[in-house]
Amino acid sequence: MTELTLERVKEDLYSRKDPTLTPVDIEAKAPLVYDILELKRKLGVVVLGHNYMEPLVFNLSSRDEQGDSLGLSRFAATTGAEYIIFNGVRFMAETAKVLSPDKRVLISDKEAGCSLADEFDPAEIDRLRELHPGAPVMIYINSYAEAKARCDITCTSANSVDIARRMPGDEIIFVPDILFAANLEQELGGGKKVIYPGQDSGTRGAVCEVHEKFTLDDLLDVRKSFEMPRGHPNKLIYAHWECRPDVLREADFYGSTSQISKDIGQRVAAGTLERAFVASECELTSNLAQEFPGVQFNTACSVRCQWMAKMALEGILDILRRIDSGGDLSKYEIELEPEIMDRARLPIEKMLAMSS
């Protein structure tokens, strides 16, 4: 393994040709990146990075530490490391803690929320159960442990259709994302009834404040502006599952962040992808553009998740320095009631067992 030096870190950053990283940024940020990588190695800390991290933060994680919600949950369940730093949002770090209760799970900003998790009242689950007795409850992983603890199974955007089909009965309650629920219903094509908040039941769900921004008209405008006609074999529009149903119908491919990345990788390997637009958080596109420099990516740079954007080099370095010096980690540490963790673990483990 080549020795890590500040010069190597700078060389790596310059070689990325990232238009958002000027030499001024590189000179300012490289020492932070170097210190983080050095402490990460010395202390054997796992640094998980969600696909929405800005490239500088994303690249603090090795390839197997990067991923979508499902991949990161799997990693968190199996790692032997004592400390896990989660570069993502709070509900993701909570999931890691629930799966690894003996590990110390840390996030550089505990206020990193998510509109889906924050705007959903777990009591709605009990109301829906009362209205539809016997129907199993599937909860999107974008939720807090307290809500998961009341449900039968979790899912992510990578496995929801498969899991819904395999759950018993001919109906399923899905919370909290109402756009996701409508997409699931569309995908199941009447094979199973999806019951979700709203729908005249007096219950309230939530939407992703980022993905709801994309409209069908936006996608049609992208097709026109960037000459990406529907069905073109080399120019594709991708959309995340949390977008509106008509956006998914218009997209050439939809899925989780890692499924989008995988499809792009396969087309690049086959030499067929020229241009792509990804209707999702814009740093996903930044990371894809670095990985696949031969593809022309068009980005909606204004579509940034304010919560994911809270992960910053300074906070991550502070965590590592505190671990190194035996300092106080309470500002960063995820702590949950053991009873909530025990109850929330069941639906997550059930999902992992059904999607391996």
Q: Is 138 in the site for ligand SF4 (CB under 6 A)?
A: no
Q: Which C-beta is closer to ligand SF4: that of 277 or that of 307? A: 307
Residue nearest to ligand SF4 (CB): 114
Eight-class DSSP state of 65 = G
Q: How many CB atoms lie within 10 A of CB 132?
A: 16
What is the Cα–Cα distance from 64 to 10, expressed in whole angstroms?
23
Tell me the site size for ligand SF4, rule CB under 6 A. 14
CB of 240 vs ligand 13P, minimal distance in Å: 6
CB 119 within 8 A of CB 320: no
Eight-class DSSP state of 134 = T
Q: Which amino acid is at 53?
A: M
The site string for ligand SF4 over 262-281 (x = CB under 6 A, - otherwise) reads -------------------x
CB of 217 vs ligand 13P, minimal distance in Å: 21
Residue span binding ligand SF4 (CB under 6 A) among the ranges 97-105, 108-116, 227-235, 262-270: 108-116
Q: Which of 138, 124, 121 is nearest to 180 (CA)?
A: 138
User: Which of ligand 13P, ligand SF4, none binds 307 (CB below 5-8 Å, type-dependent)?
Assistant: ligand SF4
Residue among 65, 124, 242, 250 that touches ligand SF4 (CB under 6 A): 242
What is the Cα–Cα distance from 226 to 219, expressed in whole angstroms?
10
Beta strands 153-155; 137-140: pairing state: parallel
Phi, psi (5° rounding) for residue 140?
Answer: -65, 145
CB of 168 vs ligand 13P, minimal distance in Å: 25
CB of 257 vs ligand 13P, minimal distance in Å: 4
Q: Which of 344, 327, 281, 328 is nearest to 94 (CA)?
A: 344
Name the site residues for ligand 13P (rule: CB under 6 A): 51, 68-69, 142, 156-157, 208, 240, 242, 256-257
Q: Which C-beta is closer to ligand 13P: that of 180 or that of 196? A: 180
CB of 271 vs ligand SF4, minimal distance in Å: 32
CB of 70 vs ligand 13P, minimal distance in Å: 6
Q: Which C-beta is closer to ligand 13P: that of 254 or that of 332? A: 254
Please report the DSSP string for 258-308 in residue order.
HHHHHHHHHHHHTT---EEEEES-HHHHHHHHHH-TTSEEE--TT---TTG
User: Which of ligand 13P, ligand SF4, none binds 256 (CB below 5-8 Å, type-dependent)?
Assistant: ligand 13P
Q: Is 114 in the site for ligand SF4 (CB under 6 A)?
A: yes
CB of 160 vs ligand SF4, minimal distance in Å: 14
Q: Which of 91, 12, 77 is nearest to 46 (CA)?
A: 77
Phi, psi (5° rounding) for residue 11?
Answer: -55, -45
Q: Which of 339, 355, 349 is nearest to 153 (CA)?
A: 349
CB of 300 vs ligand SF4, minimal distance in Å: 13
What is the Cα–Cα distance from 177 to 95, expressed in whole angstroms?
18
Eight-class DSSP state of 228 = -
Q: Is 308 in the site for ligand SF4 (CB under 6 A)?
A: yes
Q: Which C-beta is closer to ligand SF4: that of 304 or that of 331? A: 304
Residues at the contact surface with ligand SF4, assessed by CB under 6 A: 89, 114-116, 142, 208-211, 242, 281, 305, 307-308
